[in-house]
Structure 1
Amino acid sequence: MLASQRRSRILEEIRRSGAVRVSALVERLGVSDMTVRRDLEVLAQQGQLQKVHGGAILPGGRSTEEPGFAAKSVRENAEKLAIATEAVRLVEPGMAVGVSAGTTTWTFARLLCDLPDITVVTNSVQVADVFSRRPRTDQTVVLTGGIRTPSEALVGPFAVAAIRSVNLDIMFMGVHGMDVHSGYTTPNLMEAEADRAFVEVSRRFVVLADHTKYGVLGISTIADIDAADVLITDSGLAEEHQQALRERVGDLIVADVAAENDSNESSESEAGA
């Protein structure tokens, strides 16, 4: 059995039961204790599970656990940039663009602010700040009001009312978790309501989610998995999970993280030459 197949089996087991023990995996997979521990280490580094004494559990803890913006902003940065690079290609001048809160959408906003003649509607304090630091007369940014969440989203009745008063050509949304059965989820009930409003007013719905979000479950579902017109993830997602998503999502785009890193290194070399 290939390493990728073993790790997929491990993830299937942990998602089914919530936890796995090293001793049980050794018996089921027919490999050594050291091989299993090495597989768990790789999966933990990818954010797909959390190692504990004698085994592993699902990452992210409880379904209402909500990491703050600062904590999430240092995770999977290469993956987020690769995803954002693909996402910005979907935007054209003249569009009304919705951008939800999150660190992946914040990375996307830093590329989006280079595009001309767009109107951005967001409930993210951090996304709005990106545009405020680079003010341009050919761009309009609408920041909703509301109550601030740990992810720096503005939510609640004021935010939902503001969102429902607009019509968007395209909506880019970051999510806490995604699963073919539970859909796109968040640990914050009020944020889910604001996100659902964004989906309702958008002609095209695009989800930005790196591979560590697969199998993660928040308490509230924003939308079914097949509600996304486009899902952009990264090449760290196992092929079998990519296939499961292709069967449900309108268009699955898999960003090549290695290619994006090579491009960045090349640019840095040229700049230093």
Structure 2
Amino acid sequence: MLARQRQAVILEQARRTGAVRVSELVLKLGVSDMTIRRDLDVLAGRGLVEKVYGGATAIVGKSTDEPGFEAKSGRQRAQKEAIARLAAGLVRPGTAIGISAGTTTWTFARALDQVPGLTIVTNSIQVADVLRDPAQPDRTVVLTGGVRTPSDALVGAVAVHSLRRLHLDLVFLGVHGMAEGAGFTTPNLEEAETNRALVEAGRSLVVLADHTKWGIVGISTIVDLDEADVVVSDDGLPEVARETLREQVGELMVACVPEDETEES
């Protein structure tokens, strides 16, 4: 088991039970005490657990916590790049796609530079900026307008109204969290409404979410798990999450992250 996969298992157990013990993880994962402590150091450094004597406790954000774009852009960069590369293979030349706001979808937008003739609808200024390329004169980028959130999504009545009469081939959705029961969620109520309008405009829904999103629940559900045609995640996704997603979504695609690209921030 690679380090990132082991850390994902530790994080999933911490979130499920509230805390983990080093001694129990040593037995469960078949590695040394020092290896587990290093894994906990990595998770603590990323703000996902708090180290305590003999183990660690989970740090679960409030359901309305909404980090800014800059704060999120430095997290899981290698995972987002791998997800973006894999998801870009789903996009065919000449199609109309929707891309929601978020750092994962922003990374995905950067991977579309070789796909010609696209029409892209987005509620993200950052995504629109990435896609505005003079070298792609046959590309059309439509920005919804709306009220800007702390995570730099454009939301609200203006955004929803602009999406209501559109018909897109694919919608690529970034999420704050995904969990059994809660589905795909966001910490912003207006963003949930806008994202639902974007989803409804598309014939197929692709959710882009790295493994740390599993078990996180925002205040508002965008869509249920079974409404996603495809979920693209990375190979740090715990097995329990994979089993749940395979049972409920149309297809689960897992991007492999080279070990030397894995970040610890």
TM beyond 0.5: yes
Aligned Cα root-mean-square deviation (Å): 3.0
Partner of 1:103: 103
Q: Secondary structure at the match of 1:233?
A: strand
Amino acid at match of 1:223: V
Match of 1:154 in 2: 154
Could you say what secondary structure the match of 1:151 adopts?
coil
**3-state DSSP of counterpart to 1:247:** helix
Structure-to-structure mapping, 1:5-16, within 5 angstroms: 10-11=10-11, 13-16=13-16
Whether the 8 Å contact between 2:40 and 2:51 is mirrored in structure 1 is no
Paired letter, 2:48: L
Q: Pick closer, same or farther for the CA change 1:85–1:29 going to 2, 3 Å.
A: closer
Which segment drifts farther, 112-121 or 236-245? 236-245
Q: Deviations over 1:205-240 (max 9, x none)?
A: 000001111111111111111111000000111233
Structure 2 distance, partners of 1:115, 1:259, is 28
1:49 aligns to 2:48 (yes or no): yes
Measure, in 2, the Cα distance between the counterparts of 1:219 and 1:107: 25
Structure number with higher relative contact order (C-alpha < 8 Å, ≥ 6 residues apart): 2
Structure 2: 5+ residue runs without aligned partners? none
Q: Distance in 2 between matches of 1:93 and 1:58?
A: 44
Deviation of the 1:249 alpha carbon: 1.2
2:122 is equivalent to residue 119 of structure 1: no
Q: Report the alpha carbon displacement of residue 74 of structure 1 after superposing the two structures with TM.
A: 1.0
- Give how far 1:35 is off: 6.5
Q: CA deviation at 1:200?
A: 1.1
* Residue aligned with 1:215, SS: coil
Partner deviation per Cα, 1:147-201 (whole Å, 9 max, x = no partner):
0012211000000111112111000011111112211111111101111111111
- 1:183 maps to which residue? 183
Give the number of aligned pairs. 257
Greater Cα offset, 109-118 or 183-192? 109-118
| Deviation of 1:254 (Å) | 0.3
Three-state SS of the structure 2 residue aligned to 1:231 is: strand
Equivalent position of 2:19 in the other structure: 20
CA contact (8 A) 2:207 2:232 kept: yes
What letter matches 1:80 in structure 2?
K
1:219 aligns with 2:206: no
- Determine the structure 2 residue equivalent to 1:269: none
Q: In structure 2, what is the equivalent of residue 252 of structure 1?
A: 252
* 1:58 positional shift: 3.4
Extract unaligned runs of 5+ from structure 1. Answer: 263-273
CA deviations on 1:82-112 (whole Å, 9 max, x unpaired) are 1011111111112110000001111111121
Task: Please report how far the alpha carbon of residue 39 of structure 1 lies from its aligned counterpart in structure 2 after TM superposition.
Answer: 4.4
Cα distance change of structure 1 residues 61 and 90 upon mapping to structure 2, 3 Å threshold: same
> Is the Cα–Cα contact under 8 Å of residues 171 and 206 in structure 2 kept in the other structure?
yes
| 3-state SS of 1:92 partner | coil
Amino acid in structure 2 at the alignment position of 1:49: L
Q: Deviations over 1:20-72 (max 9, x none)?
A: 264xx647976997665444335446x58322444544345211111110111
Inter-CA distance 38–134: structure 2 relative to 1 (3 Å threshold): same
Contact 1:41 1:51 in 2 (8 A): no
Q: In the alignment, which residue of structure 2 is the partner of 1:266? A: none
Distance 1:232 1:260 in 2: 21
Cα gap change, 1:166 to 1:13, in 2 (>3 Å): same
Q: Residues of 1 paired with 2:5 and 2:233: CA distance?
A: 20
- Amino acid in the other structure paired with 1:91: V
Quote the residue 1:267 is aligned against.
none
Q: TM-score, normalised by structure 1?
A: 0.83
TM-score (norm 2): 0.85
User: Cα–Cα, structure 1 residues 171 and 6, in superposed 2: closer, same or farther, change >3 Å?
Assistant: closer
Alpha-carbon shift at residue 131 of structure 1 (Å): 1.9
Contact 1:174 1:208 in 2 (8 A): yes
